[in-house]
Amino acid sequence: MRSILTLIFLSVLFSTHAQTDITGTVTDPSGIPIQGANIYLEGTYDGASSDENGSFSFTSSETGQQNLVVSFLSFETYSLIQDVTSMTDLKIVLKEDVNSLDSVVLNAGTFSAGDNSKASVLTPLDIVTTAGADGDFIGALQTLPGTSNNEEDGRLFVRGGDANETNIYIDGLRVFQPFAATTNNLPTRGRFSSFLFKGTNFSTGGYSAEYGDALSSVLQLNTIDEPDQEKTELQFINVGLGGGNTQKWGKNSLSLNAFYLNLKPYQEIISQRVEWIKPYESLSGEAVYRHKFNNGLLKVYGGLSYSNFEFIQEDINVPEGVNFGLKNRNLYVNTSYKGTLGNDWSIASGISYANDYNNIDIINTDVNDRENSFHLKLKLRKRFSNRVKLNFGAEQFINTFSEDVEVSDVDTIKTNYDNNSTAVFTEANVFFSKKLAMQVGLRGVHNSLLDYTKVSPRVSLAYKTSSKSQISLAYGDFYQAPQQNVLKFNSTLDPEKSSHYILNYLYQNNGRTFRAEGYYKSYESLIKFDTEIPEFDSVFNNNGDGYATGIDIFWRDNKSIKNLEYWISYSYLNTERDYRNYPNRATPNFAAEHNLSLVTKYWIRDWKSLLSTTYNFGSGRPYNDPNESVFQNQKTRTFNSLNFSWAYLISQQKILYFSVSNVLGFDNVFNYQYANTPDVSGNFARRPIRPNADRFFIVGFFWTISDDKKDNQLDNL
Amino acid sequence: MRTIIILLTFFAINTIHAQNAYEKGMKKAFELWETKKPDEAINLFERIAKAEKENWLPYYYAAQVHIITTFGIKDAEEIESRLKKAQDFLNESKTFSKENAEILIMEAMLNTAYVAYNPSVYGPTLSGKVEELYRTAKTYEPENPRATLYHAEWKMGGAKFWGKDPKSFCPEVEKAILYFEKEPEKKVPFYPQWGKNQIKRIQQNCK
């Protein structure tokens, strides 16, 4: 018995020490040897690195079936299970890892900032240090090609589309009122403080099937996952005061901030073209709570803002001017969860809610409107392999609106609607190789108010032409329901439709980026009506149409001149549309043919200063002169503006900031308003629509208090 | 009884055998690194890590070799892919050892490497993170000499950037020297002990 046992042990010992040679070569798909690949038997110490000929050899005392693993940076890990004795003269061909940094990117139509994405053209800091943007993230995006400068509005006008054709999302969920409430010719700003976001994805066309109800563009903003550290921030600006605080504990973090803005003191010093009765005043607060679970991340964002102003708006038809007052209250809550489910499944889900209330007084008319909106979304993602991924999901929009218009001593008109829609989407991402990738998607939407169901395909392709360059193509159909101003009077219309065709070329080399994109966009079923603005007795139809075509050029260089970063954007736009009450196709006022931006940022180390300038140019904008027989055939003078900002870092935590827009005081005209009736000599009189002031000055002091005394708010400016 | 003894002896031999393989492997990996074969060293650390399953050290060292290697290269793509890989290794490392000061120090160095290679992009975004990592590492081990020394160097870099005197952090370096002397002999083989030979270089700022 004893001898048998001994024998067994001996044999076990012996067998574990028998040596087998494992040899072979490692190459890439084109047969080029790979040096430095890691080759080993899984779960053992036995292995080697391949030499300059791609050859390897090592010995192992393992027997039987074993798993041979071969791994190398930017290649997919290879695995071979077979008997060790047959692991000789192996010819191993590694497949390129399509997730590596030098792979092709599907980027037609898209500008991204931050997120370490390879296609990024801006850094998160750029968004906030661009002169003229004054901390508004939308302002920086207006220096990118594909946008038309409409300084009197402040929102995004993309490729011949008006501002309503762009939708904004935070963490994948819709933002219903992304801009502060204003009126004609008072530029607006984004409601959200830019320091909450770590990455921005701005699509000027051909975007993913995940997004809908926008004819031209979507802007995706992603909030930061985890703040770096606890801190308190204080802001003292000539037009307001703000403060914020961030706390972290365990797997939780909470950021709070508030800002009070009042333009009264400023407007008493700097003369304005309009007569203010109650200068713009707003109070806003935001809170973000984040909780990390083992397999996911929960974020809850809440923002509440209140604003009010009153002024006398100049009007050619009303000599004494139009008294206009507005009070707005907005609540926005956004809750999202992102996580993994195991087995290569992941989930992104959430709900956003907005409650918006406006009270508007125009002369003797009192308008009250209330809007409640919900967005619910569930998205699942399955990763079949490194090369094939599938996204699919469903979303529900619920929107209720009601408005009371009270004309004193006359009547009260009530309007309301419930606009609900349901959408499903699916999208596949396929990498055929590191050089060729494709995304194919389909989106279906049903709107219960207007009772329509539409299906829209989305396709994009990208091909890497060299190690530094690539071309991509995109196509997509996009539908958008009519806006609030139409829906409140009519619920029998069809959605408006656009189709995008995009060709993109991208070249990136060591701090320099060149991007050129040509596009054609067609518009169908645009909404027309027979009155100046939509009214309760207007006759509406879907007979409008149009097109937009153009070329967008972007050049960025961070390397050629030390401490200087700059970018140049140029957009050529040719567009005409027949919509609203247009008698025929014409180019709308917001669409200038040529737009140019030059943005520079120069860091002077000795002065501890960041100097930024932004020059914007726009060719003349079309307007209609009723004295002429042809509709919309006049053009304003060209638009020019040079903005300047100076951030001086007093110490690591204190920043002094100064900025001025339109330094050179160009006298810009955006449009003309003509009299409704001709004067005695048969001419229609006009007044130019100009900025409320030629320049805007900001002086601010930003103070960050954190334990480490290192952080500052440069990224908030 | 005898069978049991034989069995026990056998297992003992086997564990010693395994222990030796681990030590031999780790030693060999350090040798490869010293003889300027960083990629082979990384490969070996990775192999050991995969075989060991629940040991944070081989992953930690694989990350360290990648990070140190980036200081000597210029190619942006290679730097980015090495640092990405190093972060993957550190993430693996963290799954086996929670609240580990040494891993956080290494992660701070990794982020410092990003800042060093592209200050204008990563400086503003990662500075806060580096600071926080050293800070947390010090809460886990207040007398960790590496955390003290490298945090001091990081702060000196910041002071120089801001035109301030880096000397104000020299007492921190003195503290680090003290902690190095006091540093207890670790029972775990290959427990991080590096950094002492960097004192002189960092003290250049104090002259």
Question: Does the pLDDT of residue A9 top 60, yes or no?
Answer: no
Q: Name the minimum distance, in Å, from the CA of A602 to any CA of chain B.
A: 11
Question: Chain B interface, mutation test: which of A68, A69, A73, A224, most B Cβ atoms within 10 Å?
Answer: A73
Cβ contacts of A74 on chain B, cutoff 8 Å: 81
| Chain B, nearest residue to A708 by Cα | B131
Contact list, A37 vs chain B (CB under 8 Å) = 43
Chain B residues within 8 A of A123 when measuring between CB atoms = 120-121, 125
Domain membership flag for residue A5: no
Domain boundary among A60, A93, A126: A93
Picking from A643, A631, A637, A641, the residue whose alpha carbon sits closest to that of residue A619 is: A637
A594: pLDDT strictly greater than 90: yes
For residues A390 and A190, which has the higher predicted lDDT (pLDDT)?
A390
pLDDT in the model for residue B126:
85
Domain count within chain A = 2
Residue of B nearest to A195 (CA): B125
pTM over 0.95: no
The CATH code of the domain that includes A562 is 2.40.170.20
Q: Do residue A603 and residue B120 have CB atoms under 8 angstroms apart?
A: yes
- State pLDDT tens for residues B27-73: 999 999 999 899 999 999 999 998 887 899 999 999 999 999 998 88
Distance from CA of B19 to the nearest CA of A (A): 11
Indicate if A72 and A115 belong to the same structural domain.
Answer: no
CB–CB contact B131 A710 (8 Å): yes
**Is A70 domain-assigned?**
yes
A555 and A643 share one domain = yes
Question: How much is the pLDDT for A666?
Answer: 93
A61 within some domain: yes
Burial (CB count <10 Å: 0-12, 13-18, 19+), residue B127: buried
A98 is a domain residue: no
A vs B: CB pairs below 8 A: 93
- Locate the chain B residue with the closest alpha carbon to A122: B121
Residue A302 forms part of a structural domain: yes
- Within 8 A of B47 by CB-CB distance, chain A residues are 38, 40, 45, 47
Chain A residues close to B43, C-beta within 8 Å:
36-38, 47-49
* Domain identity same for A47 and A185: no
Percent above pLDDT 90 for chain A: 67
C-beta atoms of A229 and B128 within 8 A: yes
Of the candidates B6, B43, B84, the beta carbon closest to that of A38 is on B43
Highest averaged pLDDT of the listed ranges A57-61, A264-268, A615-619, B160-164: A615-619
Judge whether A506 and A470 are in contact, CB under 8 Å: yes
Looking at the partner chain, which of A101, A606, A652 has a beta carbon nearest the beta carbon of B80?
A: A101
At A389-408, the pLDDT tens digits run 999 999 999 999 999 999 88
Q: Are residues A49 and A126 in the same domain?
A: no
Are A238 and A274 contained in the same domain? yes
Per the prediction, chain B carries an average pLDDT of 86
Work out the pLDDT band at B182, boundaries 50, 70, 90.
confident
A327 lies in the same domain as A404 = yes
Mean pLDDT of chain A: 90
A78: domain range?
16-93
Which residues of chain A make contact with B10, given a CB cutoff of 8 A? Answer: 9, 13
**First and final C-alpha spacing in chain B:** 70
Q: Which residues of A touch B137 (CB under 8 A)?
A: none
Distance, CA of A636 to CA of A358 (rounded, Å): 33
Say yes or no: A503 and A638 in one domain: yes
On chain A, the residues whose CB falls within 8 A of the CB of B3 are: 2, 5
Residue A272 has pLDDT above 90, yes or no: no
In a domain, A433, yes or no: yes
Give the residue from A93, A119, A139 where a domain finishes: A93
Alpha-carbon torsion angle B152, A607, A233, A135, nearest 10: -130
Q: Are A205 and A519 in contact (CB under 8 A)?
A: yes
| Chain B residue with Cα closest to A69 | B47
Residues A420, A290 share a domain: yes
Strand partners, A502: A474, A519
Which residues of A fall within a CB distance of 8 Å from B129? Answer: 228
Domain CATH code at residue A48 = 2.60.40.4130
Return the pLDDT at A14. Answer: 46
Are A108 and A517 in contact, with CB atoms under 8 Å apart?
yes
**Which among A5, A37, A40 has CB closest to B3?**
A5
Is A73–B81 a contact, with Cβ atoms under 8 angstroms apart?
A: yes
CA distance to partner chain A, nearest, from residue B199 (Å): 23
Mean pLDDT of A415-437: 94
Inter-chain CB proximity A40 and B47 less than 8 Å: yes
**C-alpha span between A258 and A345 (Å, rounded):** 38
Tell whether A350 and A400 lie within a shared domain: yes
Question: Which residue in A has a C-alpha nearest to residue B43's C-alpha?
Answer: A38
- A9 found inside a domain: no
Is the domain of A138 the same as that of A34? no
Cross-strand partners of A406:
A366, A412
The reply to whether residue B82 touches residue A73, judged by beta carbons under 8 angstroms, is yes
Residues with Cβ within 8 Å of B116's Cβ and at least 6 positions away in sequence, in order, are B71
Q: Do B21 and A45 touch (CB under 8 A)?
A: yes
Question: What are the beta bridge partners of residue A244?
Answer: A233, A257
Range of lowest pLDDT (A35-49, A83-97, A111-125, A572-586): A111-125
The contacts of residue A472 (CB under 8 Å, 6+ apart) are A105, A106, A107, A108, A460, A461, A462, A463, A502, A503, A504, A506
| A496 is a domain residue | yes
- Does A515 share its domain with A381? yes
Q: Which residues pair with A96 in a beta bridge?
A: A75
What HEC string does A53-100 produce?
CCEEEEEECCCCEEEEEEECCCECCEEEEEEHHHCCCEEEECCECCCC
Asked if pLDDT for residue B78 goes beyond 90, the answer is no
Which of A37, A67, A93 terminates a domain? The answer is A93
Count, in order, helices (H) and strands (E) of chain A: 5, 39
User: Which of A175-189, A312-326, A446-460, A487-501 is predicted with the least confidence, judged by mean pLDDT?
Assistant: A175-189
Q: Mutation test of the interface with chain B: which of A708, A712, A713, choosing the one with the most B Cβ atoms within 10 A? A: A708
Identity of the amino acid at A268: E
Is there a single domain that holds both residue A447 and residue A359?
yes
